[in-house]
Amino acid sequence: MVRWFPEKSYFRALNFALLGAVVVSCGTHCATRASLKVTREHRNFLEEVGSGSYSNNSINRLFTRLDEKGNKICEMIFQYAEYDENLAKEFSATLDFRKKKGQMWYSNILPGLIAGCANFYKMNDRGVHHVFRILEELYPEDKDCFTVGFSQYYIMLQEMRCDRVVSVDADWRILKAHYDFHELVRNKAPDADTISLLKALPLHWVAHFDFVPQQEEEITEYTFCTPTERKNCLRSFEHFISLPEIKRTELMLGFIHDSQFPPKDKNLSVIFMSNALDWEYTTLQQFDKLHSSAREYLAVGQKVAIVYQAGDSEDIVVYELAKTDSDELNISIRCRDNIRWSDQYALEMRGKPFSTYFDDLLDRKKLTGIPRCHVRGTKNYNDPKKSKKYLEEKKKKLQK
């Protein structure tokens, strides 16, 4: 079963504090504290979502309803409770939450992800603070910034000069964690520290892959940061709580392919999408939707920089989509590292170079002079004991 925090009195006080914050802040600033946009696909997925736009306490009310009903759905998915078809349909008329006999908890993960039952709070992008510094050097001008994930938001906020930083995710619980954390920071005690504020987050169904998602027994920085990224990841949270003022919290619930990223009152948006372009997460049809929608929402002279990062690697590719005077969408590559499959993938893929959907739209043989994004190279995170050569040699030794 889900394990809940024992400090009930603490969370009761937290709820009153958040409620008080809403009452105090409502007034002339009520319209600017927090906003949530929901894409069309997610409005169709989740019955509780009846609008494409929420603000301030209506966000909290929506997350509260999703939390109450979503917990019951998660208990059914992980077979802690008997499956109830009526309850499932009340939560989503389009998603199938049943697990076939013998399936692992992460099999058919998409419905559970949308329902908030498998929440990847921990950042597994490598060296992302270096990535954001590179992006700031490439795009020093005024810009709006968008990012997936949880910790990535705070690192982007620290390393880049963005007029806006918008959190984009298909998982509403990730956005809820942002909303809750921002409220805690806005109303923190003078002596509050980063770890105590992170520990106060009520995180449900935390995904680890080595066991079924559950309530964390103890929240630490390692709930959000891998050990190799701890220093810079934690530093970004410390920077956030030290800010004299928290800007408006902007959240977008939806998949990358179903979202739009037009810059507001400027000509550039930068979108960090991690490895969401991989075929495991984005189909060709969905990519076509992402590509075609940019043609619609970009004005002439505007562009978006889409940043892809290879899984378990620091290597990135920065694609630029720009609207030309002839109302056409021009695609180019600003910089490109030599992206390769991680050794976490199947043996026949490990270490091999690959292309993304954007690469497939371009004749890369005719593209010359494209610089590396990491001019001085990147750290190799591959485990030699998982390489094809190592496994073949090990097999030969066992056969002797």
Type of residue found at 141? E
67: in domain? yes
Q: How many domains are contained in the chain?
A: 2
Q: Note down the domain range covering 318.
A: 273-379+386-399
- 166 strand-pairing partners: 146, 250
- 245 burial via Cβ count (<10 Å: 0-12, 13-18, 19+): exposed
- 71 and 211 share one domain: yes
Q: How many residues does the chain have?
A: 400
Instruction: Report whether 201 contacts 154 (CB < 8 A).
Output: no
Spacing of C-alpha 289 from chain mean position = 19
- 372 burial via Cβ count (<10 Å: 0-12, 13-18, 19+): middle
Instruction: Report whether 175 contacts 119 (CB < 8 A).
Output: no
Q: Read out DSSP for 221-284?
A: GGGTB-GGGHHHHHHHHHHHHH-SSPPPEEEEES-GGG---PPSSSSEEEEE-TTTTSTTT--H
- 76 and 188 share one domain: yes
Q: What percent of the chain has pLDDT over 90?
A: 69
265: in domain? no
- 300 and 234 share one domain: no
- What does R_g of the chain's alpha carbons equal in angstroms? 22
Q: Which of 359, 286, 274 is nearest to 310 (CA)?
A: 274
153: in domain? no
Higher per-residue pLDDT: 212 or 230:
230
Token pair belonging to 307: 């940043």
State yes or no: pLDDT of 363 exceeds 70: yes
- 289 and 362 share one domain: yes
132: in domain? no
Point out the domain boundary residue: 252, 282, 297: 252
Average pLDDT for residues 64-79, to the nearest whole number?
94
State yes or no: pLDDT of 261 exceeds 70: yes
Q: Which of 327, 328, 305 is nearest to 317 (CA)?
A: 305
Q: What is the pLDDT of residue 328?
A: 87
- 202 and 96 share one domain: yes
Each residue's pLDDT tens digit, 89-114? 999 999 999 887 777 877 778 899 99
Token pair belonging to 254: 């939806």
Number of CB atoms found within 10 A of residue 127's CB = 21
264: in domain? no
State yes or no: pLDDT of 22 exceeds 60: no
Average pLDDT taken over every residue of the chain: 87
147: in domain? no
Point out the domain boundary residue: 192, 219, 252: 252
- 45 and 184 share one domain: yes
- 278 and 222 share one domain: no
- 225 and 355 share one domain: no
CA distance 384 to 400: 22
160: in domain? no
- 353 burial via Cβ count (<10 Å: 0-12, 13-18, 19+): exposed
- 91 and 232 share one domain: yes
Q: What is the pLDDT of residue 107?
A: 79
Point out the domain boundary residue: 252, 283, 313: 252
Each residue's pLDDT tens digit, 321-346? 999 888 889 999 999 999 998 877 77
- 244 and 280 share one domain: no
What's this model's pTM, rounded to 2 decimal places?
0.86
- 306 and 369 share one domain: yes
151: in domain? no
- 201 and 350 share one domain: no
